[in-house]
A = this chain, B = another copy of it.
């Protein structure tokens, strides 16, 4: 009972041994993450099409929910780029950016996303996330990075551009180029330059000044907050807001009031597909980060409980005026590197954001959009990994095709279409591949009981017994294909009396394939050849026993291909074994 409770509320486990050392480490990590999270959460809210302060709202209660329910000790939850992009993609076509309906729908989307995650936890459907294959996720993140960066360029140029895909955005940017707003452009370019230098050079410079790698690395992470402060000072000092530089403007001070999003059933149904995709993508991203970090410290995470924790975090986001959240990659790594010991670091980060909302929001009045856009661009471009496409192509053209389809889909159509296209293509290519399986004629490796492809190894073939290995489960897409291939093989081996189908690669024989096996057996009979099976796996054999195939096909099922050959053609098998026997017996005589 107690154990069960602890598995639903993992904090009960670590809270028992919580001490001052852990608290000090968690506190330091929380401070650093807070400084990193402030610009990110403001920027990602803007990316999601929401008032920047919404990002801060989405960085309080959700973190506390994860502290209570999460199993990763170092995952940092909050607004992340791809999920914010997906939020904007889902809501953009329905409501005007900036309207109250838009903000309400964002809350509803977070609520739905939370509900989907909890439902997946209850129904144990976490495995669905596996259908987002590695190439699809990788392609999705790279393309999203490019799409987001393109979308943010308008803030750097200070021009209004709208567009759903990369082409529209690029077109809008080119058309708008002549009307670039110079002060905005200067702020944006300086921010970009500053952030790039901080990210790529600052660490090295600080180390040259004698700082430890660790401290230098940590300081570079709070570069964005420095950029924010500098920009706020510049805009305030020079009165740039009056020249037309877009700033965040008046931000309500104080914590958000708790409320439930209005449940508009029709809108909920319309948003559900987006909520499902956001949940899946968020879950995959979050769990991979959590697993990577857990492995480094020999800790474990429990994927199903992670669904609960992320579901709780999203419902908390919905109730506090936020939008969909998940575990973020960069932030979690910083949290880990800064020495976070327990999920309490997350709750302390939430407290830090709470203090910010209570005390510092007037500061943000003069914060220019351009510097937030620069924060996003610099953070995102590091995730773009176009070389992955080439690496994947070298390994597997099918995987590369799925990756390319995802990228093109995301860039040219939209984020959801891109993911669906990638997953759909991955599945289609797999099915297409299994529909024409590799079929090899095999022979015995001299001096062993092992059988391999006659085209790849110097093996001994029996003239009487045709040994055929099928490298695929036998199921409906390939059932008839097998019939054709075997018909063709018999033509090539007219002197064969037996055909042994070697089944180590057959993990399933479905009803359609069983019909095909019956047809094959009957056709072989008319040609004077007896069908046998070998190396049939336990689960497949169990199933065959439930049909009447084994009684009627007239052949035998051998435990191994070697046993089949020993029974059907002892002479050839004897020859192939001779060398081995000589070898063994001479060793015995010698010993």
Contacts and interface: CB of A to CB of B under 8 A. Distances in A.
Interface of A: 127, 130-136, 295, 298, 392, 394-396, 398-399, 426-427, 430-431, 433-438, 440, 445, 448-450, 452-453, 456, 471-473, 475-481, 504-508, 510-512, 514-515, 519, 522-523, 526, 535, 537-539, 543, 546-547, 559-560, 562-563, 577, 581, 584-585, 588
Could you say how many copies of this chain the assembly holds?
Answer: 2
B130 A481 contact: yes
Contacts of A472: 473, 507
B562 A131 contact: no
Contacts of A436: 127
A450 B133 contact: no
Given A395-B543, A538-B453, A134 B504 contact: no
Contacts of A298: 526
A538 B448 CA distance: 18
Contacts of A539: 438, 471
A66 B438 CA distance: 34
A392 B511 contact: yes
A436 B125 CA distance: 12
Given A450-B562, A538-B440, A588-B581, A134 B507 contact: no
A507 B448 CA distance: 23
Contact of A449 (B431, B448, B473): B448
A543 B130 contact: no
Given A395-B543, A537-B471, A539-B471, A476 B134 contact: yes
A23 to B, nearest CB: 29
30 contacts: A127-B435, A127-B436, A130-B480, A130-B481, A133-B512, A134-B515, A295-B519, A295-B523, A298-B526, A395-B511, A396-B543, A399-B510, A427-B431, A430-B508, A433-B508, A434-B473, A438-B537, A438-B539, A445-B559, A448-B562, A448-B563, A450-B559, A450-B562, A471-B539, A504-B504, A504-B535, A505-B537, A577-B584, A584-B584, A585-B585
